[in-house]
Chain A
Amino acid sequence: MNNSSPEQHDNRLSEELVAYLDGELSHSESESVEARIRQDDRARSELQRFDRVWNALDNLERPTVGDSFTRTTIEMATVEAKKELAHETAMLPMRKRRRWIKIASLATVAALVGFATLAALMPNANRQLYVNLPVIMELDAYSEVRDIDFLRQLDQTSGDWLLAEWEDEVAPRAQALLDQSGASLRERQRYVDSLDAESQADLAGKHRRYQSLTPEMRDELTDWHTRLTNDVDAKELQEVMLAYYAWVSQADEIDQARLRSLDAAARVRRVEDMKRRADARSEWQLSPANAAALRGALDDMADDPQLERQRRKLVDDLMDKWEVPENRRDRFKLPSPRISIKMAMGSAFGDPPAEIVEYRNAIEERLIDALDEPTAGRLRGLPARDRSRRVATWLRMAMRQPQTPDVATLEKFFVSGDFTPDEQQRLLAMPTDQMLDELENMYIREFVGEGGDEREFQRMFGHGNRFGRRPWDERESRPERRGPRGPGDVDGPDGPGKPPRGERPPRSRRPDDEGPRPRGERRPVDRFPEDGLPRRPPN
């Protein structure tokens, strides 16, 4: 007869159910419990309730500690090892009979002290760098993103395109981060030593910034790094973090701050939104490569005799159409081919006569042919009027892209141009300002070419007055920025976007900022307009 109270009975049932869930019952006991829960609704319900509550414990936060904890504990062990050494030393005289054993033992303790000293109190200014190397290596990325939920959601929603766009940059960094996160101090030291000078300087700069943080901020970053590396998806999340940082670094500060202020889900939505808008814009954005291609096509057309004949015929036809008397036609000066092409394309915004439309169509086709295939395809899909206007706008933008000649450009022009020794002497004899003015004039004449004049150049590039010159360093210098650089760097994720990876302006084209091409590359008929003679005999 069972004498237990209902409460005791309940307790026993609970114990059996809990032990069953914990896998602590024998085979026969488990079978007994299983039979019970099949037959007894209450027992089954109890089992489910215990299980559910146990699973709820998964929500318990698991705190983590960082390198500083390890470091200080090893330092304590070092002190302990020293104490042991001192103790052994004090004991030595009392153990003369086994002296050789003690010596061996002391050597071991000394080795440990040596290790602990090296590992924990390494007399090395870089110790902090080695201890916190993973955080310092990616200091900016760790500072930008500190939310594992955000990374997880970002990985699911945007991971594919982020990693595809930034794979080249991210893959080696993520691997290095992964390697160094699990590396010992000595391995980290070897890694730092193996870096090239530029990377070491970059790391040193990050280390200085890390040192400037408060201890609380440093600990926070270390904790964050530890949490991330302990995650089951650590590798994927680190890659996404680095890719996101590379991407977001291209955004302006306001967008970056706005993104940081959002919670995980809203931040991911905002990232996707920015990406969509950038993609939509970049479809109709003139890439540097296409701008260079348009300028190249313009050069080619300006030198094309067939197109030149068509242009002259167009002028004659128009004069006929407008009934300009023969004796007055020589008053109309033919602009340079480049100006004619630009003006013809500009006619897309008006309602020109059919003759101009015909000439424009010929030009337009050549310009579109010069563009990359996807862009050309998109253009050809547009209605004719829209297409012509798009090409006209792009041509104008492409022609504006070459920058005004600064001192560096003019000096390069002087050095690479085929000036005769007399010309060089004459220029060098001038005061600097005058020499630069003269070079500027020659540069413009060179650009405009046969039949052109300075006003054309100014119209072409929108300079009503003489353009200013910038100093040397202004031309090359760019503001220092955080984070990785990449194509599309100037415009950022919200801007026109970067050209496809690996895309560069065609090598056959002139670099965008070089102004007129070197004289040696000019068309064969390169003569002074005044006398029609070659400027210099061929070498």
Chain B
Amino acid sequence: MLRVAADDAHAFEELMRRYQNRVVGVLVHLVGKRDMAEDLAQDVFMRVYRARKRYVPASKFSTWLFTITNNVASNALRSLARRKEVNVTPATPDASGGNPIEHGALAASGLMPTRQLDKSEMSEVVRLAIETLNERQRMAVLLAKFEQLSYAEIGDIMDMTPQAIKSLLSRARANLRQVLEPYLEQGEAVKV
């Protein structure tokens, strides 16, 4: 990033190649739509580019990058919610009562927890389970699971204390457990 800040010719391309899949990966699961996620990811990188001179080396670049990602995603989701275009944040498990799969897309898909799921089915179940989380839980889960960031780093990104992140992740995992466990009941039979 320091090379980008110094207008190093190739650094920005290199930085993009290193982080673009990670940013898009987080955004896809935050907003639920691939094309929108890519647009937002471009917005993230443009913000990075515009703010390159303000980058403070003391902070970890990935923390800075995902802070921008979180802000961009939050803005987009708020904007969408206001326009009521798409309900990109499904109801929380508690709101629907019981296992949301019984009410949601999983039920519609005809997937039954009584049989072993193949890899693509399991992937879909997990995707839908992630969608049942609220925006903050989802962000915290994605950063903890796939970026392996600490609670403190996630707190920096989401402007929350580590203790709040601890509670947030605990609730998120409890929700995920509620949704996914019926599919994992077969125990190790679920091979992926």
Considering only CB atoms, which chain A residue lies closest to B37 in the complex? A63
Supposing A111-B9, A112-B7, A115-B9 touch, asked if A53 and B176 sit within 8 A by C-beta, the answer is yes
> How far, in whole Å, are A24 and B13 apart by their CA atoms in the complex?
35
- Indicate whether B10 reaches chain A with its CB closer than 8 angstroms: yes
> How far, in whole Å, are A60 and B124 apart by their CA atoms in the complex?
7
> How far, in whole Å, are A80 and B169 apart by their CA atoms in the complex?
38
Q: Which single member of A49, A52, A61, A118 contacts B123 (CB below 8 Å)?
A: A61
> How far, in whole Å, are A68 and B73 apart by their CA atoms in the complex?
22
- Indicate whether A50 reaches chain B with its CB closer than 8 angstroms: yes
Give min CB distance, B65 to chain A, whole Å: 14
Indicate if the CB atoms of A15 and B166 lie closer than 8 Å: yes
Interface residues of A in 72-128 (CB under 8 A from B): 72-74, 76-77, 80, 108-109, 111-112, 114-115, 118-119
Considering only CB atoms, which chain B residue lies closest to A187 in the complex? B10
Interface size class of B (residues with CB under 8 A): 35 or more
Supposing A53-B181, A57-B126, A60-B127 touch, asked if A76 and B46 sit within 8 A by C-beta, the answer is yes
Give min CB distance, A366 to chain B, whole Å: 61
Indicate if the CB atoms of B20 and A59 lie closer than 8 Å: no
Q: Which single member of B16, B122, B177 contacts A73 (CB below 8 Å)?
A: B16
Indicate if the CB atoms of A73 and B29 lie closer than 8 Å: no
Interface-facing stretch out of B56-64, B76-84, B97-105, B143-151: B143-151
Indicate if the CB atoms of B42 and A69 lie closer than 8 Å: yes
Please indicate which of the listed interface residues B25, B123, B174, B176 has the most CB atoms of chain A within 10 Å of its own CB. Answer: B174
Give min CB distance, B145 to chain A, whole Å: 5
Indicate if the CB atoms of A62 and B42 lie closer than 8 Å: no
- Indicate whether A230 reaches chain B with its CB closer than 8 angstroms: yes
Indicate if the CB atoms of A24 and B170 lie closer than 8 Å: no
Query: How many pairs of A and B residues are in contact by the CB < 8 Å rule?
Result: 130
> How far, in whole Å, are A22 and B170 apart by their CA atoms in the complex?
11
Considering only CB atoms, which chain A residue lies closest to B49 in the complex? A77
Indicate if the CB atoms of A53 and B12 lie closer than 8 Å: no
- Indicate whether B112 reaches chain A with its CB closer than 8 angstroms: no
Indicate if the CB atoms of B10 and A184 lie closer than 8 Å: yes
Total contacting residues, chain A, CB less than 8 A: 44
- Indicate whether A14 reaches chain B with its CB closer than 8 angstroms: yes
Chain B residues positioned under 8 Å from A185 (CB to CB): 13
Supposing A18-B166, A60-B130, A63-B25 touch, asked if A54 and B145 sit within 8 A by C-beta, the answer is yes
Give min CB distance, A128 to chain B, whole Å: 16
- Indicate whether B115 reaches chain A with its CB closer than 8 angstroms: no
Indicate if the CB atoms of A56 and B122 lie closer than 8 Å: yes
- Indicate whether A65 reaches chain B with its CB closer than 8 angstroms: yes
Prevailing SS type, chain A contact patch = helix
> How far, in whole Å, are A72 and B42 apart by their CA atoms in the complex?
9
Considering only CB atoms, which chain A residue lies closest to B145 in the complex? A57
Chain A residues positioned under 8 Å from B130 (CB to CB): 57, 60
- Indicate whether B28 reaches chain A with its CB closer than 8 angstroms: yes
- Indicate whether A58 reaches chain B with its CB closer than 8 angstroms: yes
Supposing A65-B38, A65-B41, A70-B20 touch, asked if A59 and B122 sit within 8 A by C-beta, the answer is yes
Supposing A59-B192, A65-B20, A69-B20 touch, asked if A19 and B7 sit within 8 A by C-beta, the answer is no
> How far, in whole Å, are A77 and B7 apart by their CA atoms in the complex?
12
Indicate if the CB atoms of B9 and A73 lie closer than 8 Å: no
Chain B residues positioned under 8 Å from A70 (CB to CB): 13, 16-17, 20
Chain A residues positioned under 8 Å from B122 (CB to CB): 56, 59
Chain A residues positioned under 8 Å from B167 (CB to CB): 11, 15
> How far, in whole Å, are A57 and B125 apart by their CA atoms in the complex?
10
Please indicate which of the listed interface residues B21, B28, B125, B150 has the most CB atoms of chain A within 10 Å of its own CB. Answer: B21
Chain B residues positioned under 8 Å from A118 (CB to CB): 9
Interface residues of A in 184-201 (CB under 8 A from B): 184-186
- Indicate whether A226 reaches chain B with its CB closer than 8 angstroms: yes
> How far, in whole Å, are A118 and B12 apart by their CA atoms in the complex?
13
Supposing A56-B122, A56-B180, A60-B130 touch, asked if A22 and B169 sit within 8 A by C-beta, the answer is yes
Q: Which 9 A-B residue pairs are closest in the complex by CB-CB distance?
A: A115-B9, A15-B170, A59-B122, A112-B7, A53-B177, A18-B170, A64-B21, A59-B126, A59-B123
Task: Other than A22-B151, A63-B28, give 10 A-B pairs with Cβ distance below 8 A.
Answer: A11-B170, A14-B173, A57-B130, A58-B192, A59-B125, A70-B17, A72-B42, A76-B46, A112-B7, A119-B13
